[in-house]
Structure 1
Amino acid sequence: MRQHDTEVPDANATYVFAVCRDPDPSSCAGLPGVTHEAPVRLLALDSFTAIVQTVRARDFTDEAWQGRLSDQRELERYARAHHDVVSAVAAACPAVPLPMATVYHADERAQEALAKESDRFRVALKRIAHHAEWGVKVYAPPAATAAPDDAGRRAGRPVVPTDRGRPAAGAGLAYLERKRGAQRLRERSQEDALRTAETVDEQVGRLATASRRLRPHPQPSTDRRVQILNATYLVADRRSEELALLTRTLRERTGAQIELSGPWVPYSFVGEV
């Protein structure tokens, strides 16, 4: 979350959603943005156009945002409103999204600050033109763990009932062998999962223009799947069907659960202002 130049709480400020080149004015017409008090509009820069909205500066002070961070519903409302504007504009032309709550004291301040980033905008817009971001998550089933009796049967050893007070002969050694076998099984499962993750990332990466490996998301306690890859890829629009086919092929080849999501605005490949 970024904030700029909101030192006059009673004044208006300029909220910036994205920077693009030659946008269609109708792409943001009628969008509510982060406030219903002013329309989303275009702001001309030297070589680009910013998508902006006039907001009240007091709504974007550090104190105001600290309070908003503790209100999940209000924070989600702002995040959704910001994303809706960026998505609408990006659907019409390549657009570099700015972080939520990028706010300047006035249009002139926004123009001055954004002009300093013109080289980065130029490079980013060229890279993402006719591209979209796609997410790929790969899950492996939980490592198989054998019950002690099952492990003994698979090893060819009979399971001998014991008295309550006296273990069967060799029971301690058999227990240790089963523990070691279970550990080896877990290690092999983990190695297989890592190889699968690398295979998927390598294959999808060859098709993509750029990629980023992300930290795996923790799974809910009710979900026994293990996430072994969480990555995002910048893929040319003309290769989207090829991407879908590749993920289906990798599912069949590896046996892993592969989730493909997108297309999204390429937030991960434009950097931050």
Structure 2
Amino acid sequence: MTDSGTYVYAVARDGGHTGPVDLAGVAGTPVHEITHAGLVAYVSTVSLEEFGEEPLRRSLEDLDWVGAMARAHHRVVEAVAETVATAPVRLATVYRSEEQVRDLLERWHDDFVEVLSHVAGRREWGVKAYVDPATSASAPAGEGGGDGGGESAAGTGRPGTAYLKRRQASLRNREQRWRQATARAEHIHAALSAVAAASRLHRPQDPQLSGRDEWMVLNGAYLVDEGLGEEFAAALDALRGQDVDLELTGPWAPYSFIALEFDRADLEVSGDV
């Protein structure tokens, strides 16, 4: 029989609740529960021919494969989060046996309980802010007389001077626009953080990931009480305008607010994504 491992999606408290049923996980594998020490881990049994350390290392270079795995992982986590406070586990976290998962729940019991208490009754919302950089170079500075523009350049026999002055003015304008946009993003983040129970700033995404050419000046995550979702969305709407495009996503499971890093030290088989 092919060696198998245990793929872990999320951990929750074992409160006797009924979790999601007939749920398919990565590679179409059924999802089941492992309960221990008052906690429950949502897992799948996977083949180590596909999810062992070396196969994973190769597969993680295939973006289509990674995308399909990430969607399946996210689908399971979100299904669990709909029923109970959930601590999502990092993508591609695989143990060699279910006994190792029980050992994890035993040794990290207090940490899981603390995290789950913090996120209970709360969901994560994401906010991205975009600014069009083209507006930063729209001012026609450096053209014409008064500042050594086109006429003086022609008179001195240096036709490149006017271009250089316009280029410098454009860069100054762009830098000023960036400072204004980032200051605006800081104000937006502060205002939204006042409504949230916790907040976190992520690194702005590259345009290839965001799918947009504009500057991403804010990539924030906000942990919001379930009863304050509408208030949070209203606070966001009040911040729209001033050439900043705000994008709201969620609610999600609290991915950004789970600080446990047990997989790095404890896993025998793992893939870091």
Tell me the TM-score normalised to structure 2 length: 0.81
The equivalences for 1:53-202 within 5 A come to 53-142=44-133, 143-146=135-138, 151-152=142-143, 167-168=154-155, 178-179=166-167, 181-202=169-190
Given the alignment of the two structures, is residue 204 of structure 1 paired with residue 211 of structure 2, yes or no?
no
Given the alignment of the two structures, is residue 242 of structure 1 paired with residue 231 of structure 2, yes or no?
yes
Alignment CA distance shift 1:183-1:130 (3 Å)? same
Offset of residue 58 of structure 1: 3.2
Alignment CA distance shift 1:157-1:207 (3 Å)? same
Offset of residue 20 of structure 1: 0.7
8 Å contact kept, 1:28–1:41: no
| Paired AA for residue 173 in structure 2 | L
The equivalences for 1:46-57 within 5 A come to 46-57=37-48
d(CA) in 1 for partners of 2:226, 2:88 = 19
Offset of residue 118 of structure 1: 0.7
d(CA) in 2 for partners of 1:56, 1:146 = 57
Larger radius of gyration: 1
Identity of aligned residues (%): 34
d(CA) in 2 for partners of 1:222, 1:77 = 19
Alignment CA distance shift 1:128-1:167 (3 Å)? same
Alignment CA distance shift 1:108-1:255 (3 Å)? same
The equivalences for 1:28-47 within 5 A come to 28-36=20-28, 39-47=30-38
Offset of residue 91 of structure 1: 0.5
Alignment CA distance shift 1:35-1:180 (3 Å)? closer
Matched positions, count: 257
d(CA) in 2 for partners of 1:81, 1:188 = 43
Offset of residue 113 of structure 1: 2.1
CA-to-aligned-CA distance 1:33-52 (integer Å, 9 cap, x gap): 12446x32121111111112
Tell me the TM-score normalised to structure 1 length: 0.81
Offset of residue 72 of structure 1: 2.3
